[in-house]
Structure 1
Amino acid sequence: MTTVVRTMACPAQAVLGVLADGWSYATWVVGTSRIRSVDVAWPAPGSKIAHSFGVWPATIDDVTIVRAWDPAHGIVLQARGWPMGEAAISLEVEERGGGCLVRMVEDAVRGPGTLVPKPVLAALLTPRNVESLQRLENLARGRAGSVPAA
């Protein structure tokens, strides 16, 4: 299991707004190259984003499914990326003054990724998730009309 925490200089509602916009997924999730479709019900539990990952022309099509959505606190996803496997990902958002704290927890739950030793998996996922949270903050700051970070 890998946990990354980031304090963001934007309101929690702005972050939650990005999470609720399935079409923005490829903008902030590192490795996702494009969105093919988003269920109309997104982010309701059971709804899906059809996405591709990798670099063209070597992209792989798969889906991410919402397992839980709390519009005031965050989202739980099941990201599929076969042949590598599947991951459970939670993003918890807490208001902190004028900003917020976002906690991203990811763990391999199916497929070959479950065979990777946890320290190795953490070493691979942590930099990716740090960058994903940076991108998420940038989008949320833009939605909130915040001045971009220098």
Structure 2
Amino acid sequence: MSAEALLERARAQGVRIAAAESCTGGMVMAALTAMPGSSDVVERGFVTYSNAAKIELLGVAETTLAAHGAVSVEVAAEMASGALAASRADLAVSITGIAGPGGSDAKPEGRVCFGIARKGAPVRTEMQDFGALGRAEVRQAATDHAIALMLGALA
């Protein structure tokens, strides 16, 4: 799924996009804004790498972080909802994960959680285990998956 296809579909539907990114560090927004004319679709991006940023910029609850950890579908849901609330976007995606190296048995390297929020609809979440592909590869896989999720939300 390409950034170009997402921009075309969002443009056709009059939808503005936001992203709340942790492990991808802005790669989703970079992919979208690399396309000419993206400013009519891209509303804003949040790079919320630290827990403090997730709390301060997106309204993620400290209790959610304490109970589930930053790499969880619960946090991904709050990040996506928070991105919608803190922007003028109609559709928001969130990404939080472990790009590596590292991880644990409970949360292995390559695990990434996503949230997708659209105004007027419940937030959807999912978790993908991309595996220990290497940091750059996990980040790229997460970026591509986030774009595909947004494209699917506009189908």
Both structures adopt the same fold (TM-score exceeding 0.5):
no
TM-score of the superposed pair, with normalisation by structure 1: 0.31
Q: Normalising by the residue count of structure 2, what TM-score does the alignment of the two structures yield?
A: 0.31
For CA contacts below 8 A with separation 6 or more, give which structure has more relative contact order: 1
**Larger fraction in helix:** 2
Structure ranking higher in strand proportion: 1
